[in-house]
Amino acid sequence: MERVDITPAAPAEDEIFAALASPVRREVLRLLREQGPQSVQDLASGFAMARPSFSEHLRVLREAGLVSERRDGRRRLYRLEAVPLARVRDWLDPYERFWRGRLTGLRDLLDGMDDTDGTDDMDDIGDAAALGRTGDQETR
């Protein structure tokens, strides 16, 4: 299937999440958050990786809008940008409301551990009841 290039002004959520899916790139963001704007060599010093590979990670972060670059002589200072992270938070928001509604304490964690007996706590979602209901995920 073919993809149409629309190149939106605001980076797509796809790009943002994909950029965050790499431990190298998340570590770069952490460094920028904790230590402020830095040159490429300062950022790269902790990574066992060829420089061009690291540059590629910076490009991904840049295209997602997560960092910006400022030239300073022959160095380039990278800086953390807040907007895409705020977009992640905004995306997350309705889910947060969802889980606050159903995560009453440790109920969920306990469910996940051992549930071999017959008392299925999801039984109350009958096939008809579960479908076509908007709003309430689980009763009780």
Q: Which residues bind its own copies (CB under 8 A)?
A: 9, 13-14, 17-18, 20-23, 26, 29, 32-39, 42, 68, 70, 72-73, 75, 77, 79-83, 85-86, 88-89, 91-92, 94-96, 98-99, 102-103, 108-109, 112, 122, 124-125, 127-128, 130-139
Among 12, 13, 17, 18, binds DNA (CB under 7 A): 18
Output DSSP code: residue 135. Answer: S
Of the candidates 24, 49, 41, which has an alpha carbon nearest to the alpha carbon of residue 76?
41
Question: Taking CB under 7 A as the rule, which mask of x and - marks residues 82-101 in contact with DNA?
Answer: --------------------
Distance CA 72, CA 68 (A): 13
Structure tokens at 110: 């306990």
Structure tokens at 22: 């790499």
Nearest approach, Cβ of residue 9 and its own copies (Å)? 8
Structure tokens at 67: 């960092």
55 is a contact residue toward DNA (CB under 7 A): yes
Tell me if residue 68 falls in helix, strand or coil.
strand
Among 33, 51, 89, 107, binds DNA (CB under 7 A): 51
121 is a contact residue toward DNA (CB under 7 A): no
Of the candidates 39, 40, 20, which has an alpha carbon nearest to the alpha carbon of residue 29?
20
Alpha-carbon torsion, ordered 91, 92, 94, 99, to 10 deg: 160
Select 48 or 106, whichever has its Cβ closest to DNA.
48
Applying CB under 7 A, which residues contact DNA? Answer: 1, 3, 18, 21-22, 24, 39-41, 44, 48-60, 69, 71, 73-76
